[in-house]
């Protein structure tokens, strides 16, 4: 072999190797696209948690890619909006190539945009457009035991029968929590469980419907009890 032919063979080998290498790069799993699969174009109330935002990462527009890191980020909110949240922002795709997160709309009406981007390949991204179209319901006013609940007990005779007789005292919150023969008269945070609600209902769990002998309480009144109990039966 001449020196010339050795160099030539080396050159051909190098070309073959580099060529082969190029081909390998072409078939390596490299995310080519990200699609929003569910959750785009949702509308809701300000402050509402929306249905999950789901993306699918595909190779050559066909094969799902597992284990690709997707970064979700909030890229636009209406002026002055606060409390919008995206708790799960960096997510790996599952075997179906999917990654998802949950978004809660902020305090202001208008457009919110959430971008989903492939971390290893930032050009590959999609944007979800979400809109708050309705004001959040105003918070329920706080019910006071002394100025709302106790006057009802007085007006409807509860206090005259349960102010020291019939095993139950309803004059104070500690007395209601201590309850009567059948346990606590209120279960804080759970109106449906609470004896004063069950005993004033059309189907008392034992004994008579309260107030004993009637006239019974309209729903508008028992609703005050319910709200006070569900707000924690505070001694306020
Ligand atoms: C006329 C008297 C009378 C009035 C008015 C009355 N109760 Fe009673 N209450 C009783 C008697 C007697 C019992 C025990 C027998 C029974 O459970 O039916 C009782 C039992 C109860 C119990 C069950 C206590 C336990 O642990 O066994 C609750 C709760 C209760 N009353 C709440 C109320 C509330 C709330 C009101 C007002 C809306 C009210 N009662 C009005 C006479 C009265």
Domain assignments of the chain as residue spans, ordered by start: 33-134, 145-230
Burial class (CB in 10 A: 0-12, 13-18, 19+), 56: buried
Assign domain 33-134 to a CATH class.
mainly beta
User: To test ligand 1's pocket by mutation, which of 210, 213, 229 has the most ligand atoms within 8 angstroms of CB?
Assistant: 210
Q: Which long-range contacts (CB under 8 A, 24 or more apart) does 152-155 make?
A: 152/217, 152/221, 152/224, 152/225
Closest Cα to atom 36, ligand 1: which residue? 158
pLDDT value at residue 13: 40
Around ligand 1, the residues with Cβ closer than 6 Å are 156-158, 161-162, 166, 168, 179-182, 185, 195-196, 199-200, 206-208, 210-213, 217
User: To test ligand 1's pocket by mutation, which of 145, 158, 162, 219 has the most ligand atoms within 8 angstroms of CB?
Assistant: 162
pLDDT value at residue 28: 45
Instruction: Spell out, as residue ranges, where the chain has pLDDT lower than 70.
Output: 1-29, 165-166
Tokens 């789901």 label which residue?
54
pLDDT value at residue 24: 36
């Amino acid at each position: 072999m001449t020196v010339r032919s050795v160099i030539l063979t080396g050159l051909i080998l190098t070309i073959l190797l580099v060529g082969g290498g190029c081909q390998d790069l072409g078939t390596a799993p490299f995310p080519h696209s990200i699609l929003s699969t569910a959750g785009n174009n949702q509308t809701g109330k300000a402050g509402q948690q929306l249905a999950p935002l789901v993306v699918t990462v595909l190779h050559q527009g066909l094969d799902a890619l597992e284990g690709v890191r997707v970064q979700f980020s909030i890229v636009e909110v209406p002026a002055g909006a606060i409390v919008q949240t995206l708790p799960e922002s960096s997510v790996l795709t599952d075997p179906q190539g999917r990654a998802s997160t949950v978004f809660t709309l902020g305090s202001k009406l208008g457009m919110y945009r959430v971008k989903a981007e492939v971390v290893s390949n930032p050009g590959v991204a999609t944007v979800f457009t979400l809109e708050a179209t309705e004001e959040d319901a105003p918070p329920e006013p706080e019910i006071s035991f002394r100025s709302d609940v106790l006057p009802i007990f007085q007006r409807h005779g509860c206090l005259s029968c349960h102010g020291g007789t019939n095993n139950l005292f309803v004059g104070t919150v500690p007395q209601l929590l201590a309850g009567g023969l059948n346990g606590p008269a209120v279960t804080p945070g759970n109106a449906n469980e609470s004896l004063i609600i069950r005993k004033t209902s059309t189907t008392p769990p034992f004994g008579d419907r309260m107030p004993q002998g009637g006239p019974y309480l309209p729903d508008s009144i028992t609703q005050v009890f319910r709200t006070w109990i569900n707000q924690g039966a505070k001694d306020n």
